[in-house]
Amino acid sequence: MNEQLNKLTIADAQAKMYAEFDADLKTKCPCCHAVKRAYKRALTHSMINALQLVQMHTQHCVVREFHLETILKDATCHSGTRGDAAKLRYWGLIERGKRGNGYYHLTEKGNQFLAGELAVPTHVTVYENQVLAHSDSTLVWNSSEGTKTTEKPNNRGLMGSLKAAVKNVFN
pLDDT in tens, 95-145: 999 998 999 999 999 999 999 999 999 999 998 888 988 888 888 888 777
b/e code 23-42 from CB counts within 10 Å (16+ = b):
eebebeebeeeeeeebeebe
Q: In 5-129, at which residue ranges do the beta strands (DSSP E only) sit?
A: 26-28, 35-37, 39-42, 65-67, 94-96, 103-106, 119-121, 123-127
The overall pTM is greater than 0.85: no
Q: What is the predicted pLDDT for the residue at 147? A: 64
CA distance 128 to 162: 14
Structure confidence by residue, pLDDT tens digits, 72-84: 988 888 888 888 9
Residue 80 makes CB contacts below 8 A (sequence gap 6+) with 46
Q: Mean pLDDT across the stretch 44-62?
A: 89
| DSSP H or E segment with residue 164 | helix 162-167
Please determine, for residue 161, whether its predicted confidence score (pLDDT) is greater than 90.
Answer: no
The pLDDT, as a whole number, for residue 43 is 93
Query: What is 40-166's CATH topology?
Result: Arc Repressor Mutant, subunit A (1.10.10)
Domains of the chain, by residue range, sit at 2-37, 40-166
